[in-house]
Structure 1
């Protein structure tokens, strides 16, 4: 059995859970289409009932597609490659790139360390080798040093810059 293959008993339980979750949605869709009470859905013409179930699955399919893309972008923001995304999804690297074209940040200088200068202070942005995540350390205008060394690494350079900017704002020179 492959690492991401689901045993038949778990697959059966998953399918039953999905069907149980779908029933209220299919009933609501049918009720809106026919203006009949939801509790009468299953007593209707079998073709109409099955079409309502199919319409419900279309809604679920769209939601799964959105959630899948979000998961791929999240993995990519933490440094996953298209090869890794493809392996997780059971497709090739090229297939993953086609399916989620914006999931992986291609290095175009974004992996370079950077500097944020705001409110009279300065912060350095850098990629942590161990996790591949982004961190920052800086000195506010009031002389206070700070950094995100004790917290989890940020997923993107921009996220680290935002935290650094908030620190620099908090430690701006007192205008008095």
Structure 2
């Protein structure tokens, strides 16, 4: 398996990546399998869709107090999108340019898409859970009332 180093904001100082950069941000982040998973998917898409040939997914360890500055740096360095994990899902919510209406009642975002005016935030946790329940159990949650128990941003 390819090695995916843990990068920090200091690595952005001289950042020059000629392709399309994506990243996951967290603290800690060493445990994240997102780079392996997403880079494998991008490599699988590339032979049939050349647009993905230069896309790469990185991982950055960003301390919570550094997240606002980090979001500015990633935008300035032209990262196309970011995924957020603990503890950044809630912290980023009030620090981005726009929020998808579905994320507003949750108060947390886990996916950021680069726009000219700043980051637009989404929360895909609910969509992912509903899709998994539909696919695995054959249950459609549309219109259902559910109780989700958990902790942290994913449980919001």
Fold in common (TM above 0.5): no
- TM-score scaled by structure 2? 0.21
Greater RCO between the two (CA within 8 Å, min separation 6)?
2
Structure showing greater radius of gyration is: 1
- TM-score scaled by structure 1? 0.20
More strand, by proportion: 2
More helix, by proportion: 1
